[in-house]
A and B are shown apart, each in its own frame.
Chain A
């Protein structure tokens, strides 16, 4: 029921980006070869395309996934359904997450096939290369961070555009602050999804996932305390 409603609200956006994700890698490969930008379509182009698409999708899904449900106009209808409010917050988030992962999966699959085709190498070795040489996990965690932040901001501010603006402001602001601190005091301030000091990469990634989920918990608290 509610999952269906969330899917219904976001499916146009998700389907458009699913098509884009499926075609982006082959198109990028064709263009890269055509203008001799580099030696054909390589892992670098793959990762750039992958990160760019997922970043846009995360911002988009974070914005439209929540706001349609938590505006004042329909909240009285939704919040008089017999479910705790956290259910609505997390159900919307789960649907967006599933769409995000589907788009990522399609993008990786087409990228894998494209790399194998242009590299004239066996599929398994390309996949192994992708998983080891490229930071696919890093991109996915960064995307999750952006998605959770935007989703939370949209819920908290009860406005899609304001939520999107606040989220982008925080992402850009964090990078600028970290850069300024590094330049001025030579102190490393970790920004998503950089490593925390000497912690192993897995631990750093887990911390960033936890931080991303904290945004959704914050949104849940706000919604639970909201008066309609």
Chain B
């Protein structure tokens, strides 16, 4: 049995000339919580939809729970719970109706989980879906996913519209209840704090490319921002160097391992290393996806103003 809950190889999806997902290689270990990060339109939802068979890849392959995403779609869905970014459901159905509707699809369905999470999330069971607040509508989706007893939980922006208390409850449920029974959680989010709070692994996607995938513990222990000044500084991204920002005569390197060794190498080449500092996930995310950072001006992109 594959050790990966989700594994993709050069998975791609294009729309005409647009590369929505551009050959990504995801590795999500079984039993892990994996935060899938990216800006709006980075390709997160497209990737998730390909994993679930809602859209077809144009190239590459993928396996979910050891099964091929092209040929075993129904078997994958049998063991996977999904919360879409679009939190819309049949407006006239109550939560009771939705439970009744969903129950029959899953042999592992748990009515006790429905009761538990309905109480925890304080969702009115007999109110029509359309009458619920946005937050409660999101909670209904989460409840239906959690009650499935799935081996894999795929959540696309699960905390949208939730208040801070509900977000905290959800993260608690994900981190404790679901992991206790060996469930893998793959969730996309913009909220870096949430990912840092519960995830063990993180992947960052930008313009359809997976620009980073690692353990969060590695970020704390290994990842460093090295600032150096000098001529003839290396300008190539490598397996050790995640990104390079240029600012005047300075270069800032996000290094994934052996930061001391990399800094020593720079020094040997005549550079002056002015700092080696640890990085948070947020800082790495901003380095990788905020393109202005790599420019020489702090105000790049702004319309030039010509004063008289």
Contact = CB atoms under 8 A, between A and B. Distances in A.
A160 B97 CA distance: 24
A2 B78 CA distance: 16
A76 B101 contact: no
Interface in B84-105: 84, 86, 88-90, 93, 97, 100-105
Contact of A76 (B84, B90, B102): B84
Given A74-B89, A228-B49, A1 B84 contact: no
Interface of B: 49, 52-56, 74-75, 77-78, 80, 82, 84, 86, 88-90, 93, 97, 100-106
Contact of A77 (B74, B78, B80, B84): B84
Given A1-B105, A74-B89, A76-B54, A82 B77 contact: yes
A32 B103 CA distance: 52
B88 A74 contact: yes
Interface string A166-192: 000000000000000000000000000
A81 interface: yes
10 contacts: A4-B100, A5-B101, A8-B93, A74-B88, A74-B89, A74-B90, A80-B84, A82-B105, A227-B55, A228-B54
Nearest to B45: A76
A166 to B, nearest CB: 25
Contacts of B49: 227-228
B89 A83 contact: no
A90 interface: no
Contact of B106 (A74, A76, A77, A82): A82
Contacts of A68: 90
Contacts of A80: 52, 54, 77, 80, 82, 84
Contacts of A76: 54, 84, 86
B161 to A, nearest CB: 16
B89 A77 contact: yes
A4 B100 CA distance: 9
Contacts of A4: 100-101
Interface string A78-105: 0111111000000000000000000000
Contacts of A82: 74-75, 77-78, 105-106
Contact of A227 (B54, B97, B103): B54
Contacts, number: 53
Contacts of B86: 73, 76
Nearest to A77: B89
A5 B98 CA distance: 9
Contacts of A79: 53-54
Closest 3 CB pairs of A and B: A1-B104, A82-B78, A82-B77
B103 A1 contact: yes
B280 to A, nearest CB: 33
Nearest to B86: A76
Contacts of A8: 93, 97
Interface string A1-15: 110110010000000
A125 B82 CA distance: 60
Given A74-B90, A82-B74, A228 B55 contact: yes
A2 B93 CA distance: 13
Contacts of A73: 86, 88
A209 B93 CA distance: 35
Nearest to A81: B105
Given A5-B101, A76-B86, A82-B78, 8 more contacts: A1-B101, A1-B103, A1-B105, A4-B100, A4-B101, A76-B84, A80-B54, A82-B77
Contacts of B74: 82-84
B78 A1 contact: no
A10 B26 CA distance: 43
Interface string A37-76: 0000000000000000000000000000000100001101
Contacts of B53: 79
Contacts of B105: 1, 81-83
